[in-house]
Amino acid sequence: MPVTPDPRIPLLKELAEPIRLRVIDRLGHRGPATVTELSGELGVAMPKLSNHLKRLREAGLVHVTRSGRHAIYALSDPSLQSLLPLLDRLTGRALAAAGQAPSATTRSRRCYDHLAGRVGVDLYAALLERGALVDHPDGTVALGPQAEATLASLGVRTGALEPTRRRFAFECFDSLAHAPHLAGALGDAVAEALTARGWIEPGDGRDLLVTPAGRRGLRRTLGLALGSAR
């Protein structure tokens, strides 16, 4: 008997291309963007990016609206925002099962507007351990019973977080550390709070430096022991 084509295969092929996956990842993390913004943030030339955006439009994964001269791209289906954290979690499990070790020199850095690398991974793990956050099997994250007090110790007031179109909190897989860090509006708020306190500061490129005050503060509040180069 003839085999009926599986409609999932073409969709997965579109997502398997690195640039197209990065576009979906960017739109899922930070919301709609113009072609110019996507080109600058992803470091992809406009002609090449336009070809990939066309493929994503034809696949029904993104849609475009016009605002004056600008073409603004967004995810076509909100369910894609649920797919990415789940994909990240599956990736982490697959790498662990395959015995692939993380990078030996995982520096602290930014991933979009939240914390990644050593400080991001360790901070997220500590928040989970202390009951400030609760992770779900689909990669989404909720506030735990100790959220208010623990996050307040970092300078984040959960009740003051304003509702936005972006998701509140979810896991983002760290490709170098092979472990998740905290993304979403809450992840951004934590990064802003630590910056405001002088606990982290920009390094080269996307690298972050944990300041002496930050190392003391994170040790005192969450029990983290971060070296001077992280």
Within 130-180, residue ranges assigned H as helices are: 147-152
Is residue 168 within 8 A of residue 184, CB to CB? The reply is yes
pLDDT at residue number 124: 97
* Angle between the N-to-C axes of helices 18-30 and 35-42, in degrees from 0 to 180, rounded to the nearest 10: 110
**For 8-42, how does the pLDDT look when each residue is reduced to its tens digit (9 = 90+)?**
898 889 999 999 999 999 998 888 999 999 999 99
What CATH number did the domain enclosing 48 receive? 1.10.10.10
**pLDDT of 4 above 90:** no
Whole domain around residue 195: which residue ranges? Answer: 81-222
User: What percent of the chain shows pLDDT beyond 90?
Assistant: 63
Longest dimension (CA), the chain: 69
Residue of 72 and 96 predicted with greater confidence: 72
**Cα(158)–Cα(152) distance, rounded to whole angstroms?**
8
**For 203-221, how does the pLDDT look when each residue is reduced to its tens digit (9 = 90+)?**
988 899 999 999 999 999 9
Give the pLDDT band of residue 229 (cuts 50, 70, 90): very low
**pLDDT of 98 above 60:** yes
Same domain, 119 and 217: yes
Is residue 208 within 8 A of residue 110, CB to CB? The reply is yes
143 by DSSP, 3-state: which? Answer: strand
Asked if residue 41 is part of any domain, the answer here is yes
* Helix H or strand E segment including 32: none
**For 125-175, how does the pLDDT look when each residue is reduced to its tens digit (9 = 90+)?**
999 999 999 999 888 899 999 999 999 999 999 887 765 556 889 999 888
Tokens standing for 93?
A: 């499990």
Asked if residue 42 is part of any domain, the answer here is yes
